[in-house]
Structure formats: C-alpha cells, structure tokens
Structure 1
C-alpha cells in the first residue's frame, strides 16, 4: 500500500504535485529539459518512480500542470491586487507592478528551448494559461478606452507591446509604468 502524504487523498495529491513542481524547477536550474527523466523528477520529489505516473502521464504533462498551477497562483494574486484599483490607469499600474514584482516568484515562461521540446498539444495547453493572463490585460485596456483614459488603435498590438515592456530586467517598474501609461495616452 502506498504511503499517503497529508491527512486526505486530496492533500496527498496536492502535496505530491507541489513536490514534483519543486523538483522540476530544481532540475531545470541544473540542466536541460531533454536530460530530465520522470525517474529524476520522482527521485528529486521523494516519491516512487512508478508513483509519479499516478499524477502525470509524462514530462510534458508535468510542465503543463506546473504552468497551470503557476498561472492560477499568479491570477489569484493579481486579482486581489486589482480589487484596489481606482480606475483603468491605476489598474494598469497594478498590473505592471504585480507582473514585475512577481517575476522572481513565478515562472512566467520556460524559454524557447523548452517549448521547442514540448508536443504541439502541450504548447496549446500552455497557451491557454497565457490567454488567461492576457484576458486580464485586455480588460484593463478595454476599460481604459471605454472610460476615455487610454487611446488605443489596436488592442492586440498594445497588449504585445505592454508585455514586451514587462520582460525587461534592467528597467524599474516605475519606468515601465510611466512608459506604458504615456504610450496609452493616460
């Protein structure tokens, strides 16, 4: 009989998934995705080599589940922060700040190397998580346009430009806020 971690089967599943996600992060910090095996993940997570397959079909499934868990965690935090927004410009400031402040805590992207090794289905599933974050930004921009606070000709292009501004590591959140809000006409 396998050992159950936690007080219930649900807690066991959640703790096992968390341990596998931590193992994935740790192993990817040391080496490339193609060299990591399911046995490596199980060993690093402290679970049985065959037990990991009760939770994940393969490495792609681990990455997709990890991306989903990170996205959900980030969206919860972002949603709580956005509740304080006093208007679209303030919501954009909060969005920018949360994204930049969270970049060290959350894994927003694994990079093109890893994505090049995933199946098309896995990439499509991860894209759904990206769309969830983009939806928040689209709502902020749409609300700003509707309120007459933002001047935007192409929402999709504006979203891409905002996210490009967020990917820099050498610029402060304040500088990005000023730049984006000026670009939006706010």
Structure 2
C-alpha cells in the first residue's frame, strides 16, 4: 500500500498535485506540450510511473487541472489586490498592473500552440478560466459606467480590447495603462 506523505489523505493528494503541476511547468519550459508524456511528468514529480494515473488520465487532464488551479490562485490574488480600491479608476489601474506584472506567470505557455493540441472539451475548459478573469474586468467596467467614472459603449468589445492591449509584453506597462485609461475615459 502506498504511503502518504502528509497528515491526511486530502493533504497528501494536494501535495502530489502541486508536485505534478510543478513538473508540468518545468517540462513545458523545456519541451513542446505534445512531446510531454505522463512518464516524464511522473519522474519529474518524483512519482512512480503508474502512480500518476491515480490523479490524472493523461497530459491533457494535467494541463486542464493546472489551468484551473492557476486561475483560482490568480483570481484570488487579483480580488485581494482590488479589495482596497475605492474607485473604478483605481480598480482598473490595479487590474492592469496586476495583469502586466503577473500575466506572464498566469499564462505560462498556454498559447495557441498548446490550445491547438487539446481536445475541444479541454479547450472549452481552459476558455472558462479566461472567462473567470474577464468577469473581474467586466465587473470593474460595469461599476465604472454605473458610477459615471468610465465611458464604455460596448462592454463585450471593451473587455476583449483591453485584454488585447495587455498582450504586447514588449511595450512599457505605463504606456499600456495610459492608453487603456484614456480609451475608457479615465485617463
């Protein structure tokens, strides 16, 4: 019978999942997603070759669970950062700063090259994580319009366009922030 390495079985499973996610992230820094096997993930995580299957059926299931975990942590940190903000403009600036500072970590290699390798169901599951982050921005913009602080004619288009503005990592963050704030009448 396998030994657990924690005080309880749920804590043990959580620790194993964390090791699997760390292994996946390290492997993705070295290889393309389609070249990563469950055996590689298990070895890097310090698990037996078959033990990993008690947690995940294949690398695709690992990446979806990883995205779920990362999104939950990212949104929680984002909401904590926004909690002290007193205006929609301040919340938007905080949202922009947080995305520009931590967005690379959050989006760890999960771009079009990985999405193209996933099944439709997995792509949809990961898309739902993006929607969770978009909902935070949607709330900020809606509140700003309601309070008269922001001008947004088309909420859906504005959410999409703000996220497009956050993508170019080669631009100075201050320029991106200034552009977005001007675009919604807060600059």
Fold-level similarity (TM above 0.5): yes
Aligned-residue offset at 1:104: 4.0
**Are 1:66 and 2:63 matched, yes or no?**
no
Quote the offset at 1:72 in angstroms: 0.5
* Count of aligned pairs: 186
Q: CA deviation at 1:3?
A: 2.2
Does the aligned pair in 1 maintain the 2:141–2:155 contact within 8 Å? yes
CA RMSD, aligned part only?
1.2
Q: TM-score, normalised by structure 1?
A: 0.96
2:165 paired residue number:
165
Partner of 1:107: 107
How does the TM-score come out when normalised to structure 2?
0.95
Q: Deviations over 1:83-126 (max 9, x none)?
A: 11111110000000011111343335511111111111111111
What do the CA deviations read for 1:50-89 (whole angstroms, capped 9, x no partner)? 1111111211110000001100010110010001111111
- Cα distance 1:108–1:163, how it changes in 2: closer, same or farther (>3 A)? farther
- In structure 2, the CA distance between the partners of 1:109 and 1:149, relative to structure 1 (3 Å rule), is farther
2:41 is aligned with 1:41: yes
Where in structure 2 are the equivalents of 1:1-186 lying within 5 Å?
1-107=1-107, 110-186=110-186
Q: Structure 2 unaligned segments of length 5 or more: list them.
A: none
d(CA) in 2 for partners of 1:100, 1:131: 18
- Runs of 4+ in structure 1 deviating by more than 3 angstroms, as ranges, are none
Gaps of 5+ in 1: none
